[in-house]
Amino acid sequence: MSSNPEDSKVTTTSSIQRRELRTLCGVGMLHAFTHVYHVALMPLYLMIHEDLKSGSMDHTTFLMTAMMTAYFMPSYWVGALADRMDRRKLLGIGLLINGAGFAAFSQVDSYIGAVLCMVVSGIGGSFYHPAATAMIADQFPQREGKAFGLVGIGASVGFLIGPVYSGWRASASETLIGAAAWRNPVMELGVAGVIAGLLFLWLAPKDCPGRNAPHTSPDHPQNKWMSSGTFVVLILTALAFSLRDFTGFGMGSLGSLFLQKAHGWSVQETGFALSMIFIGTIISNPVFGTLSDKRRFSWLAGVLVIAGFLVTTFPLLPSSFIMPVLFIYGFFFIASYPMVEAALMEAAPVAYRGRISGLFVLVGGLIGNLAHWILGWRVENLGSEAGQMSAYQSSFTTLGCLVVISLSGIFGFRYLIKVWKADEKT
């Protein structure tokens, strides 16, 4: 009997679609846990500060700085691994370490121990972006924006669950155990991440970058991305968008302290308010990601200008407007992330996507991550004025301006796309 070519084609297409669905769901789940750990502590700062007796408030917010520094530092080297080995293993093992470090943090009694646990958790988290970005770009060519937008839903869910769950769980047990109530949600979220990492290693499809990358050698033209001029442009582009990241991190930490100190909101109320930033992104990430596949930089500029304006006006708002504005801000601001990732992967040579993504995350993330510590220090130095809303205006105005300035990175992307695409044609 002869097989029907049409049936074979349908079977192959169906197999590819199932693989793509498993990849999107699995990577989206990891994306959720990666970002749960980035925001779960934000409503808990005051509890952690009291329980660990960590000195000044900037010491407490430094815990996030320590975690995120460890998260960004290994990015380039993880990206190099992602260009050579099964990314499924990198992603699964990374979440195991990330969750275990976070769970261990809930059991420490000293500030030094807390910092060490945050560093371990951050190192595990560093496995995600370089490996996942290269993996998605390889499996969804010409559809990068849409794919990154869909995976971005996972980040939205993580950002949403993190502050809501930690704020609710800590408030629920505060009357029984006092300031130590922050430990319960931290332990539970850490253990959940370990379980999710094991499930991903078991169920996710293998991803071997070697089969997607073109032949390369020391003399291959694609190595041109390492030339000094192109390297400098890549670094400057990453630095430009690190200003956006600084604002993103800053809105979490500064917003949390602002709502609790100036508005007198509880931990639970603050956690719920911060979650507003991420609810709308479940829609905006895939929508703007898909739209950006046709006019990427126009959409990117639009969402960031709107976000910058909203950040600047945030401390002027009455209490009743805070949650709706946080929702609108997040709807536009977070949608910029899949567009930037898609632009970077559109430009990057296939064989170096992991390293280029890792370098971009390393440079941009280290600068952006300073927001937790700098803004914690800023609030600490407000002294008695920390209860006045007007005292925060200069900080929020600075953050809003940084978002708009970050758009200068578009010129860098245009240059990189021109150089790297011309190099591939050669």
Q: pLDDT tens digits, residue range 43-54?
A: 888 888 888 887
The pLDDT of residue 331 is above 90? yes
pTM greater than 0.85: no
pLDDT at 220: 47
pLDDT computed for residue 224 by the predictor: 53
Q: Which fold has domain 25-206+219-425?
A: Growth Hormone; Chain: A; (1.20.1250)
pLDDT-derived band of residue 222, with 50, 70 and 90 as boundaries?
very low
pLDDT in tens, 243-262: 999 999 888 888 888 898 88
Task: Please compute the mean of the pLDDT values over residues 26-46 and round it to a whole number.
Answer: 88
Residue 411 or residue 354, greater confidence: 411
Task: Report the pLDDT value the prediction gives residue 322, as an integer from 0 to 100.
Answer: 92
Give the angle subtended at the CA of 25 by the CAs of 23 and 26, to the nearest 5°: 65
pLDDT digits (tens, 9 = 90+) for 152-179: 888 888 888 888 888 888 888 888 888 8
What confidence score (pLDDT) does residue 402 get?
96
pLDDT at 5: 53
Compute the average pLDDT of residues 113-132. 92
**Measuring CA to CA, how many Å separate 243 from each of 230, 299, 368?**
21, 18, 6
Give the residue with greater pLDDT, 64 vs 235.
Answer: 235
H or E segment at 138? Answer: helix 128-139
Question: How far, in Å, CA of 359 to CA of 5, rounded?
Answer: 45
Which token pair is 131?
A: 């490996």
Q: How confident is the model at residue 219 (pLDDT cuts 50, 70, 90)?
A: very low
The answer to whether residue 300 scores a pLDDT higher than 50 is yes
Token duo for residue 31: 């994306």
Cα–Cα distances (Å) from 92 to 29, 132, 200, 201, in that order, read 11, 11, 6, 5
Q: Higher model confidence: residue 404 or residue 265?
A: 404
Q: Is the pLDDT of residue 218 over 50?
A: no
The whole-number pLDDT of residue 1 equals 47
Per-residue pLDDT averaged across 310-314, rounded? Answer: 94
Beta carbons of 237 and 26 less than 8 angstroms apart: no
Distance (Å, rounded) from C-alpha 379 to C-alpha 327?
24
99-125 burial, b for 16+ CB within 10 Å, e for fewer?
Answer: bbbbbbbbebeebeebbbbbbbbbbbb
For the segment 275-302, the average pLDDT, to the nearest whole number, is 88
- Pairwise CA distance, residues 108 & 131, whole Å: 31
Q: Give the confidence band of 424 by pLDDT, cuts at 50, 70, 90.
A: low
* Spatial contact of 291 and 240, defined as CB atoms under 8 Å apart: no
CA distance linking residue 145 with residue 285, whole number of Å: 9
Q: What pLDDT band is residue 397 in, cutting at 50, 70 and 90?
A: very high
